[in-house]
């Protein structure tokens, strides 16, 4: 039928050629990679919420990159109590039995230099998220009533040990990375990752949209602080968190990067939108603080925000920038804070590296990260306030 349509004269044929062109573009900008189940981890108790084996996608390195490793942890929110984790248990975010068997690799994961010049030939791994606590949980006991396993930290270690056995023990370069809840993993587990690799390896960390702040809601209440405290308590995450932080404040507060990032010794790069769409929707204006839905349209599309709502968003940006104060300005630390309404910008070609990608100081995210990682140039830039940046790819939600 498609072939017959393409053979039509006039408009139909022109539309067909456009569709074929778009299809070719999509197939070159992204490709599928199969799922690897880490069945050996089950015996170690390193399992998903439902007790199934953890899993990851790997596209092996080649040529000069054969001893370079990018280990990227997937995001997907958190579950803060047994009820929430039970709901999550029967989804791909709680069970490897529910995961799709392939994953799209694009942007930072691409295997072509044109799309990913600095990391295309590395071993590129995307670890699937199925524990609900940013890979920090470690509770030995399993309640027979729920059969929930809070074992994210064990998954983290089992995956790293498996990759070491598969060649990462010979790594010349290695980077721990992640997006959203996985970006938080890259922050919280950064020094742990460094400790598991050889001392001779050049190890750095990258957090994409993982700098979640302890911000107030639109009605001045603190919603996310209690939520994170419950996540840490439910999953037994305290023992994984920075001791330098937990000696000064409660473990729940040490789940916030702003309270522990100053203690990280390993070089780290933060990529974040100052108007992070997840944080605007869930920290600034969650449903419990916006019961009448006055922010609903604004949260779906930033161009629909009223002048008063934009003022609130500008206040959130200021709060976000204040939370970055402890990050410091060492050249070992990279910063790409743009003024877009987005969430996660490394795993998608259009925001990682394309002719219309977001820019800061005329630099793409891909170039900023590559220059920083290889020591070609330091990069610490914070964008001007919305709507000044015309290179943004602002998210519009249904």
Tokens of 23: 């299809």
Burial tier of 9 (Cβ tally within 10 Å: 0-12, 13-18, 19+): exposed
Give the pLDDT confidence score for residue 312 in this predicted structure.
98
> Do residues 347 and 353 touch, judged by C-beta distance below 8 A?
no
Rounded to whole angstroms, the Cα distance separating 353 from 365 reads 7
Placement of tokens 């089950």 in the chain: 42
Q: Is the peptide bond before 66 cis (omega within 30 degrees of 0)?
A: no
**Percentage of the chain with pLDDT > 90?**
92
What SS3 class is residue 72?
strand
Write the DSSP symbol of residue 197.
S
Q: Tokens representing 149?
A: 């396993």
Q: What is the pLDDT of residues 1-60, one digit of tens each?
A: 443 434 344 445 554 444 444 444 445 889 999 999 999 999 999 999 999 999 999 999
pLDDT value of residue 12: 52
In the prediction, which pLDDT does 398 show? Answer: 86
- What is each CA distance from 305 to 254, 302, 312, in whole angstroms? 33, 5, 10
Say what the pLDDT of residue 5 is. 37
DSSP label at residue 193? H
- Asked whether the predicted pLDDT for residue 97 surpasses 90, the reply is yes
The pLDDT of residue 14? 53
Other C-beta atoms closer than 10 Å to the C-beta of 273 total: 30
Burial of 80 (0-12, 13-18, 19+ CB in 10 A): buried
Does the pLDDT value for residue 64 go beyond 60? yes
Q: pLDDT of 234-293, one tens digit each?
A: 999 999 999 999 999 999 999 999 999 999 999 999 999 999 999 999 999 999 999 999
Cα 226 to Cα 220: distance, rounded to the nearest angstrom: 14
How far apart CA 95 and CA 329 sit, in angstroms, is 40
Instruction: State pLDDT tens for residues 144-183.
Output: 999 999 999 999 999 999 999 999 999 999 999 999 999 9
Residue 386: name the closest of 341, 330, 345, 350 by CA.
341
Q: Is the per-residue pLDDT at 314 higher than 60?
A: yes
First to last CA, the chain: 31
Q: Are strands 123-127 and 55-59 parallel, antiparallel or unpaired?
A: antiparallel
CA distance 246 to 167: 34
- Say what the pTM is: 0.93
Distance CA 148, CA 314 (A): 40
Residue 109 has pLDDT above 80, yes or no: yes
Bridge partners for 41 per DSSP: none
CA dihedral 32, 76, 276, 219 (to 10 degrees): 160
* Bridge partners, residue 7, by sequence: none
The structural architecture, per CATH, of the domain 40-382 is: 3-Layer(aba) Sandwich (3.40)
Q: Is the dihedral of CA 301, 317, 109, 46 positive or negative?
A: negative
**Quick one: which of 123, 189, 113 has its CA closest to 162?**
123
Report pLDDT for 13: 52
Residues tagged active-site: 180, 276, 343
- Give me the mean pLDDT over the 351-376 stretch: 98
What is the domain partition of the chain in residue ranges? 40-382
Residues 6+ apart with CB under 8 A from 298: 285, 304, 305, 306, 309, 313
Q: What's the mean pLDDT when you consider all of the chain?
A: 94
DSSP string computed for 280-327: IIIIIS-GGG-TT-TTHHHHHBGGG--HHHHHHHHHHHHHHHHHTGGG
């Amino acid at each position: 039928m498609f072939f017959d349509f393409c053979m039509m004269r006039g408009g139909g044929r022109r539309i067909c050629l456009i569709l074929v062109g778009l299809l070719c573009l999509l197939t070159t900008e992204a490709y599928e990679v199969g799922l690897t189940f880490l069945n050996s981890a089950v015996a170690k108790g390193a399992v998903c919420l439902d007790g199934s084996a953890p899993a990851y996608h790997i596209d092996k390195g080649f040529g000069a990159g054969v001893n370079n490793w990018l280990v990227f942890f997937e995001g997907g929110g958190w579950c803060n109590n047994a009820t929430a984790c039970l709901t999550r248990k029967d989804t791909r975010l709680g069970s490897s039995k529910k995961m799709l068997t392939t994953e799209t690799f694009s942007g930072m994961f691409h295997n072509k230099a044109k799309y990913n010049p600095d990391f295309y030939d590395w071993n590129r791994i995307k670890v699937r998220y199925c524990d609900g606590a940013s890979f920090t949980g470690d509770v030995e006991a399993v309640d027979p009533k729920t059969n929930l396993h809070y074992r994210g930290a064990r998954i983290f270690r089992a995956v790293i040990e498996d990759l070491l056995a598969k060649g990462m023990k010979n790594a010349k370069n290695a980077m721990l990375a992640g997006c959203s809840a996985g970006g938080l993993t890259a922050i919280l587990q950064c020094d742990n990752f460094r400790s598991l690799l050889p001392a001779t390896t050049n190890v750095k960390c990258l957090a994409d949209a993982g700098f979640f702040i302890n911000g107030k809601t639109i009605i001045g209440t603190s919603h996310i602080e209690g939520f994170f405290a419950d996540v840490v308590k439910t999953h037994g995450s305290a023992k994984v968190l920075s001791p330098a932080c937990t000696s000064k404040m409660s473990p729940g507060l040490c789940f916030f990067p702003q309270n522990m990032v100053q203690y990280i010794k390993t070089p780290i790069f933060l990529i974040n939108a100052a108007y992070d769409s997840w944080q605007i929707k869930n920290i600034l204006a969650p449903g419990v603080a916006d019961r009448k839905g006055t922010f609903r349209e604004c949260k779906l599309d930033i161009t629909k925000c009223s002048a008063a709502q934009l003022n609130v968003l500008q206040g959130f940006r200021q709060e976000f920038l204040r939370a970055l104060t402890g990050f410091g300005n060492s050249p070992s630390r990279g910063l790409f804070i743009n003024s877009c309404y987005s969430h996660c910008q490394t795993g998608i070609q259009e925001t990682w590296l394309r002719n219309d990608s977001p820019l800061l100081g005329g630099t793409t995210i891909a170039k900023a990260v590559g220059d920083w990682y290889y020591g070609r140039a330091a990069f610490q830039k914070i964008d001007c306030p919305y709507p000044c940046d015309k290179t943004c790819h602002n998210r519009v939600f249904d």
